[in-house]
């Protein structure tokens, strides 16, 4: 007599049969592990712009930069009445810091840039810095910070165009031009020359829409020391072109130029797993029952490829992040928010620009020069400054491409910078000072 079973009993019987078969067991195990892996990856890669699981609201939310902005504003309350006095007989200037600031309607970025650069420096560190703010306008009074006391009190030098020695008509004409490329490069050269004139061995040229982390100076100087070592190993006496203090991870994903390499290593992994399974089945009697040909094909043809896809879906900055310290970044480095130049390299770049008169934006021209002269470019990881601007100094760059996209300047964001902890950075800085770093 045939026994009729209800639906729960049938389901239980089917589950028992699936679980008792080698294929069914691997399917259940794989499904459980893979779902857990997807859940884990989706959480840890939310701030990786190259990840399938990237969350724009999470990734672009200011965390540490918001703390630093608040600290800077609080510092400016007292800074306006406390002018900087350089310590006589102190250390020589090691780093000229030049900040280029153009007046932008409705934006006052310079305040946070200057305050965050000075805030937290020890007296010895501050004496090692020559801080220049350059207002590259024929009428500097249009800049909202020009008449504010904190600007003179916090800086070593307020740089303006020498319109008696330069061609005032040229400056005015470039300001009025809709094509800002000539003017931007002229401004960059002007500031670079002012830093060269200080005699400092290195110069950090910064845009004004940035905020610096606590301890940026000791990290930068340590990074320069490492950069010199890397350059001596890779380029002998040629040195490095610049050390990048800021970059955005948006351009450091799985680039198509490396597609062949990624496919090759994926195939190697699949073949390796297949060989290991076959070897295990051949030399282990226990494995023979659980590894029939169908299971081996399923693992190599479905399970391993699924994990490879998840690896790439997680994003490169999640699975293969740049190591902490100084990294070679000859490609995909963006942009000119913060570059540190050895003085001799800055002089060579200025000579090249004067002789060839190339046309383009500063960041593009710098990379063109580096590529044509086979120059080494390096970057500090994690970045020591963050780009906070949403109003670009370049015409049209602030517009949105669609209602769903962020303004182009807002996408220039270092996602790892926001993971900094203010208290940990302060302790690290104190430890570096105690160690003589």
Label each residue of 195-228 as H, E or C.
HHHCCCCEEEEEECCEEECCCHHHHHHHHHHHHH
C-alpha distances (whole Å) from 202 to each of 105, 191, 205, 346 are 32, 13, 10, 9
Residues ≥6 apart with Cβ < 8 Å to 202: 94, 95, 96, 224, 340, 341, 342, 343
DSSP letter assigned to residue 156: S
Q: Would you list the domain boundaries of the chain?
A: 23-59+254-314, 64-252+321-434
Chain mean pLDDT for the chain: 84
* Cis-peptide, bond into residue 206, ω within 30° of zero: no
**Residue in the block written with tokens 């990294």:** 327
3-state secondary structure of 242: strand
pLDDT confidence tier of residue 100, bands split at 50, 70 and 90: very high
More confident residue, 387 or 280: 387
DSSP letter assigned to residue 141: G
pLDDT at 38: 95
pLDDT at 45: 93
Alpha-carbon gap, residue 73 to 229, rounded angstroms? 38
Say whether pTM exceeds 0.75. Answer: yes
Find out whether 314 and 41 touch, Cβ atoms under 8 Å. yes
Average pLDDT of the segment spanning 257-273: 91
C-alpha distances (whole Å) from 298 to each of 25, 32, 264, 305 are 12, 16, 20, 10
160: left (phi over 0), alpha (psi -120 to 50) or beta: beta
62 pLDDT more than 60: yes
Range 360-365 contact pairs with CB under 8 angstroms and sequence separation of 24 or more: 360/181, 360/185, 361/181, 361/184, 361/185, 361/394, 362/184, 362/185, 362/188, 362/336, 363/334, 363/335, 363/336, 365/185
Alpha-carbon gap, residue 429 to 437, rounded angstroms? 9
pLDDT at 180: 67
Average pLDDT of the segment spanning 74-84: 80
Least Cα distance to 217 among 321, 97, 341 occurs for: 97
Domain 64-252+321-434 class? alpha beta
396 pLDDT more than 90: no
pLDDT at 270: 93
**Pairing mode of beta strands 377-381, 325-328:** antiparallel
333-382 per-position pLDDT tens digit: 888 889 999 999 999 999 998 888 777 777 788 889 999 989 999 999 99
311 pLDDT more than 50: yes
Find out whether 61 and 417 touch, Cβ atoms under 8 Å. no
pLDDT at 89: 60
Least Cα distance to 313 among 95, 34, 110, 38 occurs for: 38
Tokens, residue 17 = 């049969």
Least Cα distance to 328 among 373, 361, 375 occurs for: 375
pLDDT at 217: 96
Least Cα distance to 380 among 227, 238, 251, 192 occurs for: 227
| Highest-confidence segment of 2-16, 69-83, 163-177, 282-296 | 69-83
Find out whether 205 and 188 touch, Cβ atoms under 8 Å. yes
pLDDT at 197: 92
pLDDT at 204: 97
Alpha-carbon gap, residue 44 to 54, rounded angstroms? 10
281 pLDDT more than 90: no
Least confident of 8-12, 190-194, 195-199, 342-346: 8-12
Alpha-carbon gap, residue 198 to 235, rounded angstroms? 27
Least Cα distance to 354 among 372, 340, 339, 369 occurs for: 369
174 pLDDT more than 60: yes
Find out whether 339 and 242 touch, Cβ atoms under 8 Å. yes
Least Cα distance to 385 among 270, 255, 223 occurs for: 223
pLDDT at 172: 67
9-36 per-position pLDDT tens digit: 554 554 455 445 667 778 888 889 999 9
Residues ≥6 apart with Cβ < 8 Å to 387: 207, 209, 210, 246, 248, 335, 337, 409, 412, 413, 414
Alpha-carbon gap, residue 18 to 12, rounded angstroms? 10
219-263 per-position pLDDT tens digit: 999 999 999 999 988 776 689 999 999 999 988 888 887 888 999
3-state secondary structure of 385: strand
Least confident of 101-110, 189-198, 297-306, 380-389: 101-110
Sign of the CA dihedral 289, 293, 299, 302? negative
130 pLDDT more than 90: yes
3-state helix, strand, coil in the chain (%, to 5): 55, 10, 35
pLDDT at 163: 63
pLDDT at 267: 94
290 pLDDT more than 60: yes
pLDDT at 4: 52
User: What is the side-by-side strand order in the sheet with 325-328?
Assistant: 157-159, 129-134, 95-100, 202-207, 338-342, 242-244, 377-381, 325-328
Percent of the chain residues topping a pLDDT of 70: 82
Least Cα distance to 429 among 248, 270, 249, 220 occurs for: 220
């Amino acid at each position: 007599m045939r026994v009729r079973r209800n639906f729960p009993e049938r389901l239980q019987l089917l589950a028992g049969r699936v679980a008792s078969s080698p294929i069914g067991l691997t399917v259940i195990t794989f499904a459980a592990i893979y779902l857990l892996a997807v859940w884990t990856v989706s959480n840890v890669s939310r701030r990786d712009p190259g990840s399938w699981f990237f969350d724009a609201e999470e990734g672009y939310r200011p965390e540490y930069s918001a703390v630093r902005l608040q600290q800077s504003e609080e510092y400016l309350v007292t800074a306006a009445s406390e002018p900087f006095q350089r310590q006589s007989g102190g250390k020589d200037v090691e780093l000229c810091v030049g900040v280029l600031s153009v007046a932008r309607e409705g934006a006052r970025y310079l305040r946070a840039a200057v305050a965050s650069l000075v805030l937290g420096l020890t007296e010895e560190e501050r004496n090692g810095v020559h801080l220049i703010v350059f207002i590259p306008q024929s009428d500097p009074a249009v800049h909202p910070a020009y008449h504010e006391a904190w600007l003179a009190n916090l800086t070593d030098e307020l740089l303006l165009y020498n319109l008696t020695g330069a061609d005032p008509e040229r400056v005015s004409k470039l300001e009025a031009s809709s094509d800002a490329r000539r003017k931007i490069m002229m401004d960059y050269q002007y500031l670079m020359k002012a830093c060269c004139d200080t005699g400092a061995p290195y110069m950090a040229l910064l845009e004004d829409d940035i905020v610096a982390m606590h301890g940026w100076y000791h990290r930068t100087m340590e990074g320069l020391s490492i950069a010199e070592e890397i350059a001596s190993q890779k380029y002998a006496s040629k040195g490095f072109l610049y050390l990048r203090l800021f970059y955005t991870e948006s351009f450091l994903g799985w680039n198509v130029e490396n597609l062949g390499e990624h496919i090759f290593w994926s195939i190697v992994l699949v073949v390796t797993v297949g060989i290991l399974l076959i070897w295990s089945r051949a030399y282990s009697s226990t494995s023979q029952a659980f590894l029939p040909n169908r299971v081996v094909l399923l693992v190599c043809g479905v399970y391993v490829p699924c994990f490879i896809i998840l690896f790439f879906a997680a994003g490169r900055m999640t699975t293969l992040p740049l190591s902490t310290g100084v990294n070679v970044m000859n490609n995909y480095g963006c942009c000119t928010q913060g570059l540190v130049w050895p003085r001799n390299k800055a002089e060579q770049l200025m000579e090249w620009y004067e002789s060839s008169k190339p046309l383009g934006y500063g960041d593009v021209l710098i990379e063109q020069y580096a590529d044509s002269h086979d120059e080494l470019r390096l970057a500090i990881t994690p970045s020591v400054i963050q780009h906070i601007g949403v109003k670009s100094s370049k015409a049209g760059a602030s517009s949105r491409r669609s209602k769903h996209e962020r303004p182009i300047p807002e996408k220039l964001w270092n996602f790892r910078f926001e993971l900094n902890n203010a208290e940990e950075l302060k302790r690290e800085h104190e430890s570096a000072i105690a160690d003589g770093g």
